[in-house]
Amino acid sequence: MRYFIELSYRGTAYHGWQTQANGISVQVTLEAALTQRLGIPIYVMGSGRTDAGVHAKQQFAHFDVDEPLPLTEAFIYSINCILPEDIAIHTIFPVGPKDHARFSAVSRYYQYHITRQKNAFQTSLTYHFRPHLDVERMNEACEILRQHSNFKSFSKARANVTHFNCRLDFAYWQYTNDDCLTFHIKANRFLWGMVRTIVGTMLEIGQGRMSLDQFEKIILAQDRTVAGRAAPANGLYLIDIGYPAKVLQERTVQALVSAEHGETLSG
């Protein structure tokens, strides 16, 4: 049987999502907790890889087991007690044998958070960036970005992919309050390091160090060396993974049942 896990994590202490030879990853930590709780080796496949220090408000992964799991609130609570405090499982639900956390996903939505004022409690969760930014000009750059589909210039050079095309659904900057500026971007897929490099390049535009014509030339060049520096990982969040309704139908059923019984599936 195949199950999906919906989880969130603070990525500060981890070398990204994927198993790494040189550090602890979210994937390895999650697998260890599931293995301990179920008493059998468990291997998970995530919807995508987040880099070291990147956070996820919503991430999905799948794993396979031979026997049905007791999907009660107490069962999920018991796994969350094994996990460290910076990883939380929200729900586990059954899916079809061919449903895949990565390949069944139809969209990913990221946010990048920038604060102008230093905050001792947000150091690892936002990028403290003091210079004045022309947000209107940065949003004009977003409109240019949406006119293109090849984003090789914003991908890490060692990216192991067959193509660099992505379909952008939206991209824009917005002040959530006087202090916090947030970049929103959603696409069917993202390249390795793509969002952080776009943010870093747009910060150059916002400071008046790069024109909109130069920005479009960078996109057309399809060359990572001409784009700006990647923004730090601590401001980046994976917000939402989109799936066809049929993949998530059992998750919806479980939520309704739990609501009727006054329970919660959250960790």
Residues tagged active-site = 51
The CA distances from residue 142 to 154, 170, 187, 205, 230, in Å, are: 14, 8, 13, 11, 17
DSSP string spanning 39-67? SS----EESSPPPTT-EEEEEEEEEE-SS
- 115 secondary structure, DSSP code: E
Distance CA 68, CA 59 (A): 22
CA dihedral 164, 169, 173, 176 (to 10 degrees): -130
Instruction: Tell me which residue of 149, 111, 104, 112 sits closest to 242, measured CA to CA.
Output: 104
The annotation status of 9 as a binding-site residue, yes or no, is no
The CA distances from residue 203 to 53, 69, 140, 195, in Å, are: 20, 47, 13, 12
**Parallel, antiparallel, or unpaired for β 55-64 and 236-242?**
parallel
**Parallel, antiparallel, or unpaired for β 107-115 and 127-128?**
parallel
The CA distances from residue 234 to 13, 55, 136, 214, in Å, are: 11, 7, 24, 27
Residue with tokens 């993974």: 241
> Which residues does the annotation place in the binding site for substrate?
110
Instruction: Report the binding-site residues.
Output: 110
